[in-house]
Structure 1
Amino acid sequence: MRKSILVFLKRTVLTLAIALATLLAIRAWDSQRGEPLEPWHTHVPPELHADELNHADWAAYIAAENAAFEDVRREVTEKLPERDRVPFNRYFADSPIYPGHFHQDWNRSYVLEPEHRPAGAVVLLHGLTDCPYSLRHVARSYQARGWVVVAIRLPGHGTVPAGLIEADWEDWVAATRLAVREARRLAGAAVPLHIVGYSNGGALAVKHALDALDDPALARPSRLVLISPMIGITRLARFAGVVGWPAVFPAFAKAAWLGIVPEVNPFSYSSFPVHAARQASLLTQTLQRQTVQHARTGRIAELPPIQTFQSVLDFTVSTRAIIDALYQYLPANGSELVLFDLNHNAYLGSLLRPGNSVLVNRLLPPPPRPFRTVVISNSGSDSLDVREEVTEAGSTEPRSRALGLRYPRNVYSLSHVALPFPPNDPLYGTEPDASEDFGVRLGAMAARGERAALVVSLDLLVRMLSNPFFPYMMGRIEAGILPTKAATSPK
């Protein structure tokens, strides 16, 4: 009997080994297709890491950041081969999308200070492959209300996609703590502290709040605002690191990338390394374990109110994880979850996958809930006019009111990336503000024609990049900002 078990185990291990070797061979072969690696995929600029960030101040971080951007200019931009000196390349100095020519390069960290003594401090944390540009509209709103704003560029971001090859999630956590220290230094300890996190930045915001429950040296935020937060991602992402294994051999270096595409966006990477996916997975796993641990000990009751804005349809992060891995554990502390439903009266309604029309009902647990729930939807009517359906914490009876906003007819849902950008955003907006020009209007392009003619995937142009309900979202965020004298807004 024992011998047969050993034989079975050996066969099982051998089968798994053969299967893994086959998959890696297929991955190595598949990685050779597509675009070649470019200088921005191979050159890694210098960055501070967690051990250094934990002892650095803001001035040291900005000095290191400046050195990283100078390194990119010297080693990438000035050494571009002739084939890469094209208008649609953000790293070509004569390109209209080259960030170095803009009045302000929003890839970099920035601080906005009010005209008067700060009424509060807010730290802004952007998403994965993203940069501080994504939360600049939120930043301006906080500053106009007398708050000091610290928007940090997380390590590995804003420079070149290769920067994410060596950036670990612990580096992002340490950078978050550094930004919080600077916010407290500028505003003092007596005023409120908010953290606003978008996508991966949302996970970092919650992580900091949980860490601060155990470490008295960390400043506790009085409020968290999460936009499309990365509380959970797909299970397959846990094994993302495996697909990069063939890259240990130089001939298969492209296997270290999940996507190699032209860099046409001045404020976000288009290419995506395997390492970044792996780090995002590790961060969310760590966050979920930490949340459960604090729930078991009861410490989670000390968390501040959390306000979350999320599109029901989101194929970057898990909408369900926001509820199952975070909100179900929250105490009745004034937290709020705002869900943007799909457009039930879009022309494409009949083409949507079955089940999408009832996603909200499947996502939310039955009331009463310990948190306030808001659903923005036009369901149940033939109109594009949206309504706000609110179920207060502890209540079972929703109430509804019209918002005076409409779902665009040709938009069937929001997306993961759309929420923090208003329709007049000069880069992502459907009706871009002409007073600013970043060389391209990604959100206003209505591309129709033959496939394979463009240098970018049609996915980029089809995906919704701005939020038609942005005024409502900002109104809800601003309701949580203590009123104060308006200060001079940034240019």
Structure 2
Amino acid sequence: MSIIQSVLIKLPLWSVRKALRLMILAFLGSLLIGIVVFILYIKSLPELAVWHTTILKNEFNTDSDVKDFDDYVALEKRLFDELDREIYDKTVSNNDRSINRYIRNSFSDPKRWDKEWNKSFELPVNNPKMGILLLHGMSDSPYSLRAQAEYLHKQGIWVVGMRLPGHGTIPSGLRDVKWQDMAAVVKIGMERLTQKVGDKPIHMMGYSTGAPLALNYTLLALEDSTLTFPSGLIFYSPALGVTKAAPFAIWQSRLGNLLGLPKLEWNSITPEYDPFKYGSFAVNAGDQVYLVCNEVQKQLDAYAKNTKIKKPLPPIISFASIVDSTVVVKDTVDHLYKRFKGENNHTLVLFDINHKFTSHSLVKDSVHTALNKLREVPEDTHYRFDLISDINSTDGSVMQFTTDREYATSKKLDLYWPKELYSLSHLAMPISAKDPLYGGEDAPKSPGIQLGHLVVYGETSVLEISGTSLLRQRWNPFHDYTKQRVLEFIGLE
């Protein structure tokens, strides 16, 4: 006879019934409390605006009747005409100083800028030396690689910047976009460059989610001779790994659909004050980043197992901040660079934190531990690792510590950290200090809002823009250094 049976026999029947009642009441009480807390949470979320709920019908997807770049641009024109009708014509404000990007003539109106940077663009050149395709990140727009487009074009390169589906219009575009839609647009961009530069080199540049999309295309091109194989891959803040919770986040959105609670389809609902980047972020967007990263890992696994490899991967150079709250930097090392066996034409450039600033001991111990691991170079390394750091500097200058398979060197760079910065960020990596929107104090005057140096003080809960957003670094003080490295990488320096 089991112990439980023995105890039940000894207990009076009324005691068992009372215990069961208490358990049921406790469960029902917990359930009721949970429901109340859930309702209060839903009510606490900001209200959805028309740009969260409207679905634009002219957005591209894999079923669209689009055959080439010209077709895509034509569809894009219809999409932005629809955006004007459905959003701008219906959004009015009496506030002359509004920072809502969906109010005409506001400080955040994208049309204040000299070029429609929310759209795909092409920068042609006579007798191009080569071509380059620019791929922005999730929730961004082609503006994020604006600086790269301009300096590469001046070097005689035919530049194509693709607007990825769901982007550059309204945040609701991220609610149902699929990574396959974005991958299809990558092919359109590469086909366009092939038509324009012929057999000359074509490079791919990807920022954040643009990196796995470029890798996905490249690995497909290894097996498909109809696709133009890129000559090189250039990544900024590559999204090659996301948090472990990412696969489960989509269930929040599904629960919202099931219960008719559209607010649950959003990770964040914030004011739309940035002309070229969404403030609000749909749960589905994060899920698509996870899915494309997962697909690339499967492709890399298959590539590693393929004993009939026709050609190696093209050279890859990546620039990343050693601290990044958007993607997992360690995964860039573990999921990409550690995979290289026998190859030594790939480079990882990591920008360390500002150690002069951190002498004040404000950095968390847990962060210090994680960063020390990232600064270490794995054994049997088959890539070049450059750590850009002032860690042992005596005069405050930044050093380049290089570790390759056969040697380790260091050299002093004529670079210094701005005294007020303690690190770079995911957002800052591709952005020049001279950018009128995201740049520093010496940037040219912005035609509208300026977000690069909005350091203000006062009471909390007053401003439309959160204090966290204001503090996040948006421009790279070492942009000229990355520019030089890019030009060297593609053979123009």
TM (norm. structure 1) is 0.89
Structure 1 match to 2:71: 60
8 Å CA contact retained: 1:308, 1:338: yes
Task: Identify if the C-alpha distance between structure 1 residues 20 and 422 changes in structure 2 by more than 3 Å, giving closer, same or farther.
Answer: farther
Q: Aligned letter for 2:135?
A: L
Is the aligned partner of 1:334 residue 2:351? no
Deviations 1:210-268 (A, max 9, x none): 11111111111010001100111001111111111232257521111111110000010
| Residues in 1 aligned to 2:71 and 2:477: alpha-carbon distance in whole angstroms | 39
Residue from 376, 392, 398 that aligns with 2:388:
376
Aligned counterparts of 1:129 and 1:411: Cα–Cα separation in 2 = 25
Alignment counterpart, residue 140 of structure 1, candidates 139, 143, 150: 150
Q: Which has the higher contact order (CA 8 A, sep 6+)?
A: 1
Q: Corresponding residue for 1:10?
A: none
Aligned length: 461
2:61 pairs, out of 49, 55, 70, with: 49
- Aligned equivalents of 2:244 and 2:214: distance in 1? 22
Q: Could you list the per-position Cα deviations for residues 305-353 of structure 1 after superposition, in whole angstroms to 9, with x for gaps in the alignment? A: 1000011101111111111111111241411000001111105741111
Q: What are the Cα deviations for residues 266-324 of structure 1, in whole angstroms up to 9, with x where unaligned?
A: 01000001111111111111111211221122549611010000111011111111111
Which residue identity is paired with 1:479?
E
CA distance in 1, matches of 2:31, 2:379: 46
Q: How has the CA–CA distance of structure 1 residues 75 and 218 changed in structure 2, closer, same or farther, with 3 Å as cutoff? A: same
Deviation, 1:461, is 0.7
Q: 1:376 to 1:275 in 2, by over 3 A?
A: same
CA RMSD of aligned residues (A): 2.4
Contact 1:123/1:149 (CA < 8 Å) preserved in 2? yes
- The answer as to 2:104 corresponding to 1:93 is yes
Give TM-score scaled by structure 2 length. Answer: 0.88
Instruction: Work out whether residues 347 and 410 of structure 1, in 8 Å CA contact, stay in contact via their aligned partners in 2.
Output: no
Instruction: Spell out the pairing of 1:99-110 with structure 2 (5 A cutoff).
Output: 99-110=110-121
- Other structure's SS at 1:351 match: coil
Aligned to 2:91: 80
Does the residue aligned with 2:158 lie in a helix, a strand or coil? strand
Matched, 1:185 2:180: no
Equivalent residue in structure 2 for 1:366, among 372, 378, 384? 378
Asked if 1:270 corresponds to 2:279, the answer is yes
SS in 1 for 2:388: strand
Alpha-carbon separation, structure 2, partners of 1:180 and 1:448 = 47
Residues 322 and 353 of structure 2 are in contact (CA less than 8 Å); yes or no, is this contact kept in structure 1?
Answer: yes
Which residue in 1 is equivalent to 2:415? 405
Q: Deviations over 1:118-142 (max 9, x none)?
A: 1111000000000001111111222
Offset at residue 431 of structure 1 (A):
2.5
Identity percentage over the alignment? 34
Q: Is 2:480 the counterpart of 1:468?
A: no
What is the CA deviation profile of residues 389-447 of structure 1, one whole-angstrom value per residue up to 9, with x for unaligned ones? 1112x22x42111111111222111100101011111111123522x524111111112
For 2:450, the equivalent position in structure 1 comes to: 441
Write the distance in 2 (CA, Å) between the matches of 1:206 and 1:64.
Answer: 26
Cα deviations by residue, 1:67-113 (Å, 9 ceiling, x for unpaired):
11111111111112658986110000131221123321211110011
Partner AA of 1:100 in structure 2: K
Match of 1:70 among 71, 81, 97: 81
Secondary structure of the residue aligned to 2:361 is helix
2:14: which partner in 1? none
Range moving further from structure 2, 352-361 or 177-186 = 352-361
Determine the C-alpha separation between the residues in 2 that align with 1:163 and 1:263. 14
| In 2, Cα distance between equivalents of 1:295 and 1:354 | 37
Report what 2:6 is aligned to.
none
Structure 1: gaps (5+ residues): 1-18, 485-491
Please show how residues 207-226 of structure 1 align to structure 2 within 5 Å: 207-226=216-235
Q: For the residues of structure 1 that align with 2:179 and 2:273, how far apart are their CA atoms?
A: 26
Query: Structure 2 counterpart of 1:248, which letter?
Result: N
SS of aligned partner of 2:174? helix
Aligned partner of 1:40 in structure 2 is: 51
Q: Give the ranges of 4+ consecutive aligned residues of structure 1 lying more than 6 Å apart after TM superposition.
A: 19-25, 83-86
Work out whether 1:317 is the aligned partner of 2:327.
yes
Q: 1:59 to 1:361 in 2, by over 3 A?
A: same
The match for 1:239 is: 248
Q: Which residue of 1 aligns with 2:161?
A: 151
